[in-house]
Amino acid sequence: MEFCPECGAMLLPNDNKLECNCGYKKDLASDNKEYSVSQKLNEKQGVVDMGEAIDLRSKVNEICPECGNKEAYYELKQTRSADEAPTRFFECASCGHKWRDYD
């Protein structure tokens, strides 16, 4: 509560001012700072598991015993125990014949 410095009467609020009956007016300091709190929501996009099967087979120059085609898919497969050497499989790129490489 404030009083008029001129006459000592109580100042009456009027809009953004304090007024006195004697005519004194005092501007109210606009110290109403608005705090705008912007909260950003960082939505982390979940890692999409595509479940993409990677074809590890690579084409090699291997003669198909079935049709004589010179291109075959090469694939390594670990069998049973990890101690054993992985078995090499071939699949003919032409006729689809499959065979394994016996070493």
Active site residues: 83-84
Q: Which of residues 33-92 bind Zn ion (CB under 5 A)?
A: 64, 66-67, 69, 92
Contacts of 65 (CB under 8 A, 6+ apart): 97, 99
DSSP per-residue letters across 52-81? PPP---EEEE---TTT--SEEEEEEE--SS
CB distance 57 to 73 below 8 Å: yes
State yes or no: residue 2 binds Zn ion (CB under 5 A).
Answer: no
> Which of residues 2 and 78 has its CB atom nearest to Zn ion in the complex?
2
Q: Which of 2, 12, 13, 22 binds Zn ion (CB under 5 A)?
A: 22
The residue type of 46 is G
* Site residue total, Zn ion (CB under 5 A): 15
Binding site for Zn ion (CB under 5 A): 4, 6-7, 9, 20, 22, 24, 64, 66-67, 69, 92, 94-95, 97
